[in-house]
Amino acid sequence: MDNEIFRKLEEWLGIILGFLILLLFPAGIVLAEKPTPDPELPFYERFQKNLETGVTDPFGFHYYFRDGFRTGGPYGHFKMKIGGEARLDGGYMGANDVLKRAFTDLPGWKGNFRELKIRLSGSLYENWKFQFDMDFANVRQIKDIWISYGKIPFLGTAKLGHTKEPFSLEGFMSNSNRTFMEMALPVEAFFPGRNIGILCQNSVLDERLTWAAGYFLITGSFSDVNDATDYLSEAFGSAVSFRVTGLPRYEDDGKKLLHLGFSYSHQFRNDTRENSQLKVRAHPESRLTNDTFVNTGQFFTEAVDLFGYEAAMVRGPLSVQGELFQQFADAESVGDPGFWGFYVYGSYVLTGEHRSYDRSKGIFKGVVPTHSFHFTGGGWGALEAALRFSYVDLSSKGIQGGKEIDLTAGLNWYLNGNTRIMFNYVHARVMDRDDPPIDGGNANIFQVRFQYVL
């Protein structure tokens, strides 16, 4: 039954894409026959302008390409875009004998597609919006599938579907806008991720204060691998989550700002059902390996409370950000353990740009280069250097999942608003884990990523 659902989704996605290809084919003929406004322009620029100009069919629908394939209705009531994200990672992982004994396949050169995502999004009559994301890297996995309605008095926007829970600054941000290749240790360990539910969010006081709250079924990843527990009938439990942020300072269109925030999530779980067990873990700020250096393993719990505290500052090209997390599990059989972690990092944009900020959601949007990279002149893009310190402690009471310290150095080259090349070096230290036994483990990870987003 579950595989049948995915087959139907793929069939519908294939029908939609096929229909759009048919639309693009005649559009390409029309575009090829249309005279360019400036025949002196190079061929590539003329071709790009033709794509952006697009074509209109006899019914008034406009088809064009601008950061993805787009179409719109004759009166502007309907808009749709097909885009996506691609992240290709590669690098080398080195480890000392302690980690080699625990994870025999860890050392060596590695590479993979971190994400290969297709996104279908759009709007209807402005207030209605929808989005569908499917990631084809490694396994087929639905990331986002939701509809939303905006401009509701007090509530702002209500979103229904599979989406991120409102928790954590770095967790709530888009993957494409994060400073480092992977989330910090405690963010991966404690961020609830995506689940099925309803989310309401709004901004007030001239967008100086934002809030988001929702109720979710803990379903986890929507993938089609055999051991995925991601269906409504097999939900782990339910959760109530909220996040509130404030901007005590916001000047010069975000070039100077101070951000503060707080998140809380309460999870209701079944302490007797096998599939409802809790597992807390984190990768070593790299997905070149599937090994998690710290991992509590599964244990029964009746309830979980998550607390997150966040702060960030931007002063021109300089940015500083940090978060602190606490998790308390109502698990009498293992002594009601409590876990915690934090990270802090600083970044500096060497070419003078600054991290942009979305005041309506209380998150960062990333760096946009003033001058995009071009082989024939015009600019070299933007260059950013960053350094992060992360710590997570997953050993408490009857659980000995380990402690890890990561020091990560990063260099980002933003070629344009869509393309980025990232270099990360991670030094990880692991201790106090009992299964497998690790105390004094060290790893050095060199990794690079090519990222393209439409």
Write out pLDDT tens, residues 18-57.
444 444 444 333 333 344 456 666 666 777 787 888 888 8
Band of residue 261 on the pLDDT scale cut at 50, 70, 90: very high
Could you tell me the CATH number of the domain that includes residue 252?
2.40.160.10
Evaluate if residue 233 carries a pLDDT over 90: no
Judgement on whether residues 55 and 173 belong to the same structural domain of the protein = no
- Domain of 33 in residue numbering reads as 1-69
- pLDDT, one tens digit per residue, over 341-354 is 999 999 999 999 99
Evaluate if residue 5 carries a pLDDT over 80: no
d(CA 238, CA 219): 9
d(CA 88, CA 37): 38
- Please tell me whether the peptide bond between 186 and the residue prior to it is cis, using omega within 30 degrees of 0: no
Q: Which of the listed residues 26, 53, 69 is the one where a domain comes to its end? A: 69
Judgement on whether residues 53 and 89 belong to the same structural domain of the protein = no
What lies within 8 Å, CB to CB, of 207 at 6+ separation is 247, 359, 360
Which residue intervals of 1-92 are DSSP H helices?
2-33, 43-53
pLDDT at residue 223, rounded to an integer: 53
Q: Which of the listed residues 69, 85, 111 is the one where a domain comes to its end? A: 69
For residues 98-119, average pLDDT: 93
Judgement on whether residues 357 and 337 belong to the same structural domain of the protein = yes
Judgement on whether residues 432 and 342 belong to the same structural domain of the protein = yes
Judgement on whether residues 165 and 302 belong to the same structural domain of the protein = yes
pLDDT at residue 34, rounded to an integer: 44
Question: How high is the mean pLDDT of the chain?
Answer: 87
Three-state DSSP class for 302?
coil
Q: Which of the listed residues 14, 38, 69 is the one where a domain comes to its end? A: 69
Judgement on whether residues 61 and 203 belong to the same structural domain of the protein = no
For residues 167-192, average pLDDT: 96
Handedness of CA 34, 35, 37, 41 (dihedral sign): positive
d(CA 240, CA 370): 41
Judgement on whether residues 10 and 159 belong to the same structural domain of the protein = no
Burial of 252 (0-12, 13-18, 19+ CB in 10 A): exposed
Judgement on whether residues 409 and 262 belong to the same structural domain of the protein = yes
For residues 3-13, average pLDDT: 48
Evaluate if residue 291 carries a pLDDT over 50: yes
Evaluate if residue 361 carries a pLDDT over 80: yes
Evaluate if residue 139 carries a pLDDT over 90: no
Judgement on whether residues 187 and 170 belong to the same structural domain of the protein = yes
Judgement on whether residues 62 and 83 belong to the same structural domain of the protein = no
Counted domains in the chain:
2
Evaluate if residue 16 carries a pLDDT over 90: no
Judgement on whether residues 64 and 93 belong to the same structural domain of the protein = no
Rounded to 5 degrees, what are φ and ψ at 188?
-65, -35
Long-range contacts of 15-20 (CB under 8 A, 24+ apart): 16/120, 17/82, 20/69, 20/71, 20/82
Band of residue 220 on the pLDDT scale cut at 50, 70, 90: low
pTM: 0.87
- pLDDT, one tens digit per residue, over 381-412 is 999 999 999 999 999 999 999 999 999 999 99
In 166-316, the DSSP E strands lie at 194-204, 209-217, 222-223, 237-251, 256-269, 281-282, 294-295, 303-315
Judgement on whether residues 269 and 359 belong to the same structural domain of the protein = yes
